[in-house]
Structure 1
C-alpha cells in the first residue's frame, strides 16, 4: 500500500503545488547533513501552511525543528510582521535549519532556540496563536501542557505522528507510543482545548495528527 500512497501524494503535489526549488533544496540539504528523513511530506507541509493562513497566525511556536522544512512552510504563511519561534534539541540540526532558513529568505521571521524544549519552553512568553508539536514523542505530554500555558485563546494546536502505524491502540508499547497515549489522555481531560485527531496515509506511511483549538 505504501507505494500507491506515495504515488497519490506525488499526483497531488504535481497538480496542486508549483515547482519549489527552495523546498527541494531544503530536503536535499537535510539528506546531505545526515538528518533523519522524518520531515513532514510536501502535502503535509502545504496543509500546515494553509491552516496557519486560515487562522491568520502571527505568532507561531514549533516544537521540533529538525532541518527547518516545516518551519519554512509555516513561516511562509505569516504576515510581514509575523514571527515563528522553533525549538530544537540538536545543535547540528539547528545549524542545518539556520542555513536552510537563510536560503529561504526567512531569517528575519524565524528564531531557532537550541536546547531541550522542556527547558526552553519556560523562557517563552504567552501569546502564541498557532502551535505545532513535532518533537520526541515521550515528552509529548509535557509539550502539550506548555502549549496550553503559552497559547492565547483561539490558538490552533497541532500534534504530529499520533497514530504510530496504528500502534496507538496496542498495549505495552514503546516510550513514543506511551507518550502519545498520555498526550491523548491530557487532551481528553482538559477543559482548555477542543480537539480531534485524523488518520492519514501518504508518502510517510500510515500515521495522523491531532488538531485542537484553545478555548
Structure 2
C-alpha cells in the first residue's frame, strides 16, 4: 500500500459518507488563510467524532486543542439544542479564527473557546464545577497528554468517553528507546491508561489523508 492509495480511499469514503459543506469548507479555508498548521482531523475522522458524540448522547463536551475549530464543528453539531461544548486553545490567534469559524457554522451560542495553557484552564473548570462532561476529545500538545487524561477523569462521570488523537506517531510509539518527547509522553499515556483503575481503553491505528497514525478511546468506569 502507498500513501496515494490511502489518500484515494479516504477521498472515496469522504465523498460518500462525510461530504463537505459550506461551513466546514470555509473553516479549513479560513484556517489556511490565517497560516494555521494543516493538522486538523480528516473529514472521515471528523465524522467519526460526530457519530461517537451522537452515540454517547453527549450533552456536554470538552475539547483540548481547538486549532481552527474544524473538529469542534463536527462535535458541536452532535449536541442537542441545550448542549454545551468548551474548547481549550493555547493560541489567542488560533482562537480568533476558531470563533469566526464557529459563528459561521451557527455554533457560537453552543461552543465556548477559552484561551490559555490547558492545564490552567482545566483547573479553572474544576473550580467552577463545570463538569461532568460526557465526552472529551484531546488533540493538543502531546507532552501533556497524560495530565490531560487525568484531568478528563476528574471532570468525567461513569460512562464518559475520552478520545486522544495522534497516539501512533507513525509507529514510533512502539519504540521504547525513542528520545522524542511526544513519543515518550504517548508511551506514558498508554501505560497510564492501561493501568488506570477507572479506565477501560483500546487504541486503533489509522492510515489515510493524515498519514499513519491512530487514536485512543477510553471509557470511564464506576
TM-score category of the 2 structures, normalised to the smaller one: over 0.9
Which of these residues, 200, 212, 217, is aligned with residue 211 of structure 1? Answer: 217
Query: What is the alpha-carbon root mean square deviation over aligned residues?
Result: 0.8
In structure 2, the partner of 1:64 is 65
How far apart are residue 19 of structure 1 and its match? 4.3
Cα distance in 2 between the residues matched to 1:115 and 1:162: 23
Aligned residues: 215
In structure 1, the partner of 2:97 is 96
Gaps of 5+ in 1: none
In structure 2, the partner of 1:15 is 16
Cα distance in 1 between the residues matched to 2:35 and 2:3: 24
* Worse-matched range after superposition: 179-188 or 33-42: 179-188
In structure 2, the partner of 1:145 is 150
Summarize the alignment of residues 164-179 of structure 1 with structure 2, pairs less than 5 Å apart. Answer: 164-170=169-175, 171-179=177-185
CA offsets per residue over residues 171-212 of structure 1, 9 Å max, x none?
223111111111111101101011000000010000000001
2:161 equivalent to 1:156 = yes
Gaps of 5+ in 2: none
Cα distance in 1 between the residues matched to 2:168 and 2:69: 23
Distance 1:100 1:190, change over 3 A: same
Cα distance in 1 between the residues matched to 2:179 and 2:213: 16
2:191 equivalent to 1:185 = yes
Cα distance in 1 between the residues matched to 2:173 and 2:51: 27
Give the SS at the match of 1:106: coil
Length-normalised TM-score, structure 2: 0.95
Could you tell me whether the CA contact under 8 Å between 1:131 and 1:158 is conserved in 2? yes
Return structure 1 stretches of 4+ with deviation > 2 angstroms. Answer: none
Cα distance in 2 between the residues matched to 1:17 and 1:154: 27
Could you tell me whether the CA contact under 8 Å between 2:172 and 2:178 is conserved in 1? no
Cα distance in 1 between the residues matched to 2:169 and 2:139: 13
Could you tell me whether the CA contact under 8 Å between 2:17 and 2:44 is conserved in 1? no
In structure 1, the partner of 2:137 is 132
Cα distance in 2 between the residues matched to 1:144 and 1:15: 34
Give the SS at the match of 2:99: helix
CA offsets per residue over residues 102-134 of structure 1, 9 Å max, x none?
000100100011000011101112210100010
Cα distance in 1 between the residues matched to 2:57 and 2:170: 32
Cα distance in 1 between the residues matched to 2:30 and 2:106: 16
